[in-house]
Amino acid sequence: MSDKPAFKDIKHPAQGERLVFKGGNPVTPDHPIIPVIEGDGTGRDIWKASRRVFDAAIDKAYKGKRKIEWLEVFAGEKAFKTFNNWLPDDTVDAIRYYGAGLKGPLTTPVGGGIRSINVALRQTLDLYACVRPVKFYPNAPSPVKEPWKTDFCIYRENTEDVYAGIEWKSGTPEADKLIRFINEEMCAKDPSMKNKRIREGSGIGIKPSSKHCAQRLMRRAIQYAIDNNKPSVTIVHKGNIMKFTEGAFREWCYETALTEFRDRVVTEEELTKQEDEHAKKGGVKVTISQEKGKIIIRDRIADAMLQQILLRPDSYSVIVTMNLNGDYISDAAAAQVGGLGIAPGGNVGDIGAVFEATHGTAPKYADQDVINPTAVILSGVMMFEWLGWKEAGKIIEASIVKTLEQKRCTFDFSRQLKGATELKTSEYASALIENM
Ligand code: NAP
């Protein structure tokens, strides 16, 4: 009997296979089926261009031996128009069954309306690590003087924090009930809180932070640092203010590093202590360099970190942080290396991943064939690496470098780059293919 889920509105492709997982990593067949959500707004133009680039690179790398069977699945406006459902079960079931997905941006209204489909997908499929590399490619326009110094990877917690979606609107019976409970049962009866009160009529949002989620994220980030010879992992938090959520996140990350990776890591505090001891003995203050092969684990407060990534980006190589901090830091860091048009990402779990750019739907550019598809194309490169198809990823990355060297780019780059040739989205994809 087949274990394939029975879909309502989509069909399993006749050709191709699903991924299987061993120890949290995919085992990729030569002909995998990858579900794709095209996305709203500019997602349509971007997917058309990206698919051509992906197929050309796979063809170039594997000469027909390997191929991806793209399976369109639906979410967002296209799903709502076609099936009257923003996120059909078929879509979630297909990504879960086939083990991976590629996703364009989806609209989320501000204030009321539907909740984020992006967040729902990450939570439902438990894709707990949002991985966002930030790296400079020569000729990408940048507002900073030395953009090449920015080269780090952000590990953003993807399932908790204020993104949990547990909130109640101001003035509703639920919000009022919770406010009464917190004021009368929790604050009034706790001596350390007795002067605290939530103002009547407030809206309420909940910020959960668990040891389980901090640990699994930190484990993945340290493993990435080990596999890629990175010198440090920096925990970014706002634990000075939010002690039991952000502060606890910091503690749990340190605990993971020191219990699970003790022989591979040294904390910044341990290094400082060694320096102080050395100074006491010899009377001279010296900098003790980290032991060969050991990764420095340290932490920074989130607001200070936004300054650090601008002033001393080369001090950072892996950043681990909760959901909201990660969202802010990744957009700010993206600006330093060329903007959202070139900022890729992946949402990774233990038995699946969905790759998507950092940017949103950029609706004012929808269907004009002008948007920069590089962020989604680089998200595809991340997917190829994750699949173990490094050769295809390398071909694409090299063609991006070459095309930028030729100063052939979309409007977001050409408007800041002297002597550039402005290309449409589709023309830029053709230039990438030509340069492979
Ligand atoms: P956005 O869509 O990321 O666009 C903001 C601005 O960034 C654009 O106006 C454009 O700047 C620039 N930009 C973004 N992507 C670009 C690209 N590929 N090429 C060139 N420039 C690009 O952010 P938003 O306007 O705040 O959000 C729009 C919608 O997207 C909202 O509904 C939001 O909720 C949703 N969203 C979805 C995701 C997701 O699906 N994962 C992520 C973020 C936001 P200029 O105007 O300066 O040219």
Q: How confident is the model at residue 341 (pLDDT cuts 50, 70, 90)?
A: very high
Residue 402, pLDDT score: 97
pLDDT cut 70: percent of the chain above it: 97
Helix, coil or strand: residue 282:
helix
Residue 321, pLDDT score: 98
DSSP H helical ranges for 22-116: 43-62, 77-83, 89-98
Counting atoms of ligand 1 from 1, which one is nearest the CA of 107?
A: 32
Where do the domains of the chain lie, and which CATH numbers do they carry?
1-142+340-436 (3.40.718.10), 145-161+209-336 (3.40.718.10), 167-205 (no CATH)
Closest-CA residue, ligand 1 atom 23, reads 360
User: What is the mean pLDDT of the segment spanning 25-39?
Assistant: 96
- Residues annotated as catalytic are 163, 238, 303, 327
What are 266-281's pLDDT values in tens digits? 999 998 888 888 777 7
What are 145-184's pLDDT values in tens digits? 999 999 999 999 999 999 998 999 999 999 999 999 999 9
Closest-CA residue, ligand 1 atom 41, reads 105
Pocket perturbation via mutation, ligand 1, pick of 340, 368, 372, 413 by most ligand atoms within 8 A of CB:
340
Average pLDDT over the chain, rounded to an integer: 94
How far does residue 105's CA lie from ligand 1's centre (Å)? 8
Closest-CA residue, ligand 1 atom 16, reads 341
What are 376-415's pLDDT values in tens digits? 999 999 999 999 999 999 999 999 999 999 999 999 999 9
CA atoms within 13 A of residue 181's CA, in its CB half-sphere: 7
Q: Locate tokens 């194309």: which residue?
A: 377
Counting atoms of ligand 1 from 1, which one is nearest the CA of 331?
A: 3
Closest-CA residue, ligand 1 atom 37, reads 360
Q: How confident is the model at residue 4 (pLDDT cuts 50, 70, 90)?
A: confident
Output phi, psi for 402, to 5 deg.
-65, -45
Closest-CA residue, ligand 1 atom 1, reads 360
Q: Give the bridge partners for 321, in sequence order.
A: 156, 236
Specify the DSSP class assigned to residue 420: P
The answer, yes or no, to whether residue 114 has pLDDT greater than 80, is no
What are 283-298's pLDDT values in tens digits? 665 666 666 679 999 9
CA atoms within 13 A of residue 2's CA, in its CB half-sphere: 7
Residue 151, pLDDT score: 97
Counting atoms of ligand 1 from 1, which one is nearest the CA of 109?
A: 32
Residue 2, pLDDT score: 62
CA distance 266 to 133: 23
How far does residue 388's CA lie from ligand 1's centre (Å)? 30
CA distance 152 to 316: 6
The answer, yes or no, to whether residue 1 has pLDDT greater than 60, is no
What are 63-99's pLDDT values in tens digits? 999 999 999 999 999 999 999 999 999 999 999 999 9
- The answer to whether 107 and 361 have CB atoms below 8 angstroms apart is yes
How far does residue 340's CA lie from ligand 1's centre (Å)? 7
Counting atoms of ligand 1 from 1, which one is nearest the CA of 411?
A: 20
DSSP string across 209-232: --HHHHHHHHHHHHHHHHHTT-SE
Residue 283, pLDDT score: 62
Print burial letters for 4-38: b (CB count within 10 Å at least 16), e (below 16).
eeebeebebeeebebbeeeeeebebeeebbbbbbb
The answer, yes or no, to whether residue 194 has pLDDT greater than 90, is no
Q: How confident is the model at residue 109 (pLDDT cuts 50, 70, 90)?
A: confident
- The set of protein residues with a Cβ atom below 6 angstroms from ligand 1 is 105-108, 118, 340-341, 356, 359-362, 371-372, 375, 412
